[in-house]
């Protein structure tokens, strides 16, 4: 059964499933990258009128839509696509692999501590709102992160970044002075 939850971003909706959606971690896909996407479910969902971005996580996916289409129209179609996939398949939409984030991490101790705080304290809260946060770099006291899913373009994301993420990272990792989204 698929249930939905609203997110702080009015153009994003979170679709929750009892089944595993991604065993490969959290991945974001955008309509602008459609030609490079290999996953048929993801391609079909991004081809729906009004869908501009989807984020797949372990037990949910978030859909970010354009303003031109209403959730009244789009929501049943997305639910139908998810249900149809799981009726025909016994495996998650994304299967296990090494994520981009795991590949790019070097063994810098400060970076490891930053990632640990992001993974344990911040990512679960961001996921509740249908989004994700990815570590990109750390240089001269500044952490660069990428906000994905519902957080991408959300009106409250800058406040969340500065008041939530930055405060937590500064508290737990003394080398961090500020956090910026890229």
pLDDT at 104 over 90: no
What's residue 181's pLDDT? 86
Q: Is residue 22 part of a domain?
A: yes
Residue ending a domain, choose from 41, 59, 88:
88
What's residue 102's pLDDT? 44
What's residue 97's pLDDT? 62
Question: Are 129 and 8 in contact, with CB atoms under 8 Å apart?
Answer: yes
Q: Does residue 112 or residue 102 have the better pLDDT?
A: 112
What's residue 99's pLDDT? 44
Q: How many domains does the chain have?
A: 2
Model pLDDT for residues 144-178, shown as the tens digit of each residue: 998 888 777 776 777 777 778 888 898 889 899 99
Q: Is residue 95 part of a domain?
A: no
Average pLDDT over residues 79-83: 94
Q: Are residues 114 and 134 in the same domain?
A: yes
CATH of the domain at 149: 3.30.300.130
Gap between the Cα atoms of 38 and 89, Å rounded:
17
pLDDT at 105 over 70: no
What's residue 124's pLDDT? 81
Query: Cβ of 6: how many Cβ atoms within 10 Å?
Result: 13
Q: Are residues 77 and 115 in the same domain?
A: no
Query: Cβ of 31: how many Cβ atoms within 10 Å?
Result: 17
Question: Are 138 and 116 in contact, with CB atoms under 8 Å apart?
Answer: no
Q: Is residue 13 part of a domain?
A: yes
Q: 79: pLDDT confidence band, cut at 50, 70 and 90? A: very high
Q: What residue numbers bound the domain in which 135 lies? A: 100-181
Question: Are 65 and 71 in contact, with CB atoms under 8 Å apart?
Answer: yes
Go through the chain and tell me how many residues it has: 182
CA of 50: how far to CAs of 125, 127, 134, 150, in Å? 27, 22, 25, 15
Q: Are residues 113 and 39 in the same domain?
A: no
Among 76, 72, 63, residue whose Cα is nearest residue 31: 63
CATH of the domain at 65: 3.30.1370.70
Q: Are residues 79 and 119 in the same domain?
A: no
Among 106, 104, 110, 92, residue whose Cα is nearest residue 24: 92
* Share above pLDDT 90 across residues of the chain, in percent, rounded to a whole number: 60
- Residue found under tokens 């009015």: 10
Q: Are residues 47 and 71 in the same domain?
A: yes
Among 155, 172, 20, residue whose Cα is nearest residue 89: 20
Model pLDDT for residues 116-146, shown as the tens digit of each residue: 999 888 888 888 788 888 899 999 999 999 8
């Amino acid at each position: 059964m698929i249930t939905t939850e609203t997110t702080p971003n009015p153009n994003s909706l979170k679709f929750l499933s009892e089944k595993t959606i991604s065993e490969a971690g959290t991945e974001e896909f955008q309509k602008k990258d459609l030609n490079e996407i290999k996953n048929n479910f993801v391609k079909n969902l991004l081809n729906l009128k009004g869908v501009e971005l989807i984020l797949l996580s372990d037990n949910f996916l978030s859909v970010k839509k354009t303003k031109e289409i209403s959730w009244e129209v789009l929501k049943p179609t997305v639910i139908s696509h998810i249900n149809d996939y799981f009726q025909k398949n016994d495996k998650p939409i994304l299967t296990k692999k090494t994520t981009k984030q795991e590949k790019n991490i070097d063994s810098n101790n400060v970076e490891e501590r930053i990632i640990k705080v992001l993974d344990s304290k911040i990512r679960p809260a961001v996921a509740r709102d249908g989004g994700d946060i990815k570590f990109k770099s750390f240089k001269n006291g500044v952490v660069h992160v990428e906000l994905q899913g519902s957080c991408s373009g959300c009106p409250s994301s800058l406040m969340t970044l500065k008041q939530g993420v930055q405060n937590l990272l500064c508290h737990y990792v003394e080398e961090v002075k500020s956090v910026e989204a890229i």
